[in-house]
Amino acid sequence: MRASDLSNLDTDFMEYSLCIVKKKSKASEETIKESLFCKILLAQRRTGSVNRGKKGLVIFRYLFALIFAIALQAAPPPDYLSAAIGAYDIYREKNRVCEAEIEYKFHLKCLKSPNRYLEFRPLVGLMATAKGSVYVYAGLNFDLLFFDHLLIVPGFAGGYYAPGKGKNLGYPIEFRTGVEVGWQFCNLHRLGMHFYHLSNAGLGRRNPGEESLVLFYDVPLIKGFPFIRDNK
């Protein structure tokens, strides 16, 4: 086998591995196996005039590469810093006002994903409205990712609510339930809409509740500042 052939195969594998790293395990295990075993067969063909020892060495190298590539799939997806802006109490014009949110979405080792389509993602956040209402909360999202891009995320949270000059929701402890629908780009950034309901679940004498609709943008917290993945 010529040195140039080995060099070309090594280059192909390095490019493929980098693609997997950039996609953060989104390539399926079957895709990885298919690609690398094709490279093994190609190596065997090109070694037709070479002794068995060298053939075995080439095959061993790419079996090792296969194990390495599959191991990359175990790398956890990144945490996210999320910003959102939209309308508070969208169904009641009297109380409708602009709101803004900031959230930190992260992972805990004790919350392992059962498969590649679902991620358990705890979060903490702060919401504020133009009338001075403030909501500080913590909760849990269930990230459902389809086709490596389509994102559907039901979730719930609970926290402390201060009405300020805005709507009084009847109790300082409020609970949020909602769903995000968005798109995850190849660089793992996310853009979408979040609809949620906020209420005190009957803890107070009054429970008027409210519904919000916001546009969110998630930035993956990847090593380096300002947390933008290098796609070169």
In a shared domain, residues 136 and 197? yes
User: What confidence category does residue 88 fall into, taking pLDDT thresholds of 50, 70 and 90?
Assistant: very high
Pick from 108, 98, 118: nearest CA to 138: 108
Q: Which two tokens stand for residue 95?
A: 């109380």
What is the maximal distance between C-alpha atoms in the chain? 86
CATH number of the domain residue 193 falls in: 2.40.160.20
Number of domains in the chain: 2
Are the C-beta atoms of residues 191 and 150 closer than 8 Å to each other? Answer: no
User: What confidence category does residue 225 fall into, taking pLDDT thresholds of 50, 70 and 90?
Assistant: very low
In a shared domain, residues 205 and 129? yes
- Residue with the larger pLDDT of the pair 229 and 137: 137
Q: Which of 57-61, 86-90, 113-117 has the lowest mean pLDDT?
A: 57-61
Q: Which two tokens stand for residue 56?
A: 């075995």
Tell whether 228 is covered by a domain. no
Q: Report pLDDT for 54.
A: 57
In a shared domain, residues 208 and 153? yes
In a shared domain, residues 142 and 58? no
Q: 3-23 vs 52-72: helix axis angle to the nearest 10?
A: 10
Tell whether 226 is covered by a domain. no
- Residue with the larger pLDDT of the pair 226 and 111: 111
Highest-pLDDT range among 75-79, 116-120, 122-126, 220-224: 122-126
Write the pLDDT tens digit of every residue in 23-75: 444 445 555 555 555 555 555 555 554 455 555 665 666 665 555 544 444 45
In a shared domain, residues 48 and 88? no
In a shared domain, residues 23 and 97? no
Residue 217 β-bridge partners: 83, 191
Write the pLDDT tens digit of every residue in 150-160: 999 999 999 99
Tell whether 135 is covered by a domain. yes
Q: Is the pLDDT of residue 89 over 90?
A: yes
Q: Is the pLDDT of residue 128 over 90?
A: yes
In a shared domain, residues 100 and 187? yes
- What mean pLDDT, rounded, does the chain reach? 79
Write the pLDDT tens digit of every residue in 165-185: 999 999 999 999 999 999 999
User: What confidence category does residue 122 fall into, taking pLDDT thresholds of 50, 70 and 90?
Assistant: very high
- Residue with the larger pLDDT of the pair 29 and 93: 93
In a shared domain, residues 205 and 91? yes
CA distances from 69 to 17, 24, 25, 186 (A): 6, 11, 9, 19
In a shared domain, residues 134 and 185? yes
Q: Over range 226-232, report the average pLDDT.
A: 46
Residue 33: give the domain boundaries.
Answer: 3-72
Write the pLDDT tens digit of every residue in 202-213: 999 999 999 999
Between CA 96 and CA 29 the distance in angstroms is 48
Q: Report pLDDT for 53.
A: 54
Going 133 to 221 to 67 to 18, the CA torsion angle's sign is positive
| Structural domain ending residue among the three candidates 72, 96, 120 | 72
In a shared domain, residues 26 and 103? no
Residues, the chain: 232
Between CA 229 and CA 223 the distance in angstroms is 8
| Structural domain ending residue among the three candidates 72, 94, 122 | 72
Q: Is the pLDDT of residue 9 over 90?
A: no
Interacting residues of 135 by C-beta distance below 8 A, sequence separation 6+: 126, 127, 128, 159, 160, 161, 162, 174, 176, 198
